[in-house]
Amino acid sequence: MTDDARMADIEAASGRLREFTGGVVPAAMVVLGSGLSGVADAMDVSGEMPFSDLPGFAASAVAGHAGRFVFGHIGTTPVLVMMGRLHLYEGHPVDQVVLPVRAAAVLGTKVLIATNAAGSVTADLHVGQTMLIADHINLLGVSPLTGPNLDALGTRFPPMSGAYSPRLNMLAVAAAEELGMDLAEGVYAAVPGPSYETMAEVRALRAMGADAVGMSTVPEVIAAVHAGMEVAGFSLIANVAADVGHGHADVLAAVGSGTPLLTSLLAAILGRL
């Protein structure tokens, strides 16, 4: 696909989002990971749209991902929520995975808040706890910036050392303190999946400096930073990585226990934007 065709896809998707929001530019886009759709309960919802209605996108096929966009307000803040996401392990190309983020950036949205369900690779994190992502390790083997640069979005070599916004992280820490929430902070490693990690892989991830591991988020973050968006990320710890016998149903059940506090945290942050 040519650069012009890629940008045409992004602009078409951005135009559809503009129609969906009634011309209102969302202050933030929130991407909700597995089982986290309850976060949208904190919103005053204006409208909903299935993923398949966004040009160039596709329906979500993963359990726990509702597969729709929700637009509304938290307080006075206009917010666009993705209830679920597309994953590389589903066979989607990375340009498609990050299409909504790029479309929101073209629309004028300045903030991305990305969430996921993740496995702990350190004893410091427990199931049901939320981890503020301080940094990430990209082990996906792919980047949305591969190929000719989309100059209309951003520079060829965007720095990633400050990918996760210090300002948003400070808002998160302050909000967590007000909520009496046990908010951890750590490094998220993104792996291709969809198989869970072996014990040897967990030891390797720990040695690399990771605190939690998952199968998403990093492509969206890279695309957002490239497009000049301010980013915050949160992992809800759903299992201890390499635990014998856990599956996706167990992950969703664990996420359900931690969602109410994460919902309150995100609402507090978004209300402060």
The answer to whether 216 is a known catalytic residue is: yes
Question: Is 90 in the active site?
Answer: yes
Annotated catalytic residue 196: no
161 as an active site residue: the answer is no
Tell me which of 37, 43, 83, 87 is the catalytic residue: 87
Contact between 119 and 237 (Cβ < 8 Å): yes
DSSP assignment string, 18-40? HHHTTTPPPSEEEEE-TT-GGGG
* Catalytic residue (one of 215, 238, 267, 268): 215
Residue 117 designated active-site = yes
Asked about 92 being catalytic, the answer comes back as no
Q: By the 8 A CB rule, do 141 and 192 touch?
A: yes
Which of 60, 59, 26 shows the shortest CA–CA distance to 43? 26
User: What residue ranges in 121-242 does DSSP mark as E strands?
Assistant: 130-138, 184-190, 212-214, 230-240
Active site residue 89: yes
CA nearest to 181, candidates 169, 194, 172, 190 = 172
Active site residue 248: yes
**Active-site hit among 27, 28, 65, 238:** 65
Type of residue found at 36: L
Active-site residue among 149, 248, 253, 264?
Answer: 248
Q: Classify each residue of 111-136 as buried b or exposed e, where b means 16 or more C-beta atoms within 10 Å of its C-beta.
A: bbbbbbbbbbbbeebebbbbbbbbbb
Residue 169 a catalytic site member = no
Catalytic residue among 117, 189, 224, 268: 117
**195 has catalytic annotation:** no
- Which is the catalytic residue, given 210, 239, 241, 267? 239
Of these residues, 14, 34, 37, 235, which one is catalytic? Answer: 34
**Residue 153 and residue 136: Cα distance in Å, rounded?**
22
Q: Which of 235, 273, 240 is nearest to 129 (CA)?
A: 235
Identify the active-site residue in 90, 138, 143, 160: 90
Dihedral angle computed from the Cα positions of residues 117, 120, 188 and 17, in that order, rounded to the nearest 10 degrees? 0
Q: Which of 14, 120, 216, 235 is catalytic?
A: 216
Residues known to be catalytic:
34, 65, 87, 89-90, 117, 215-216, 239, 248
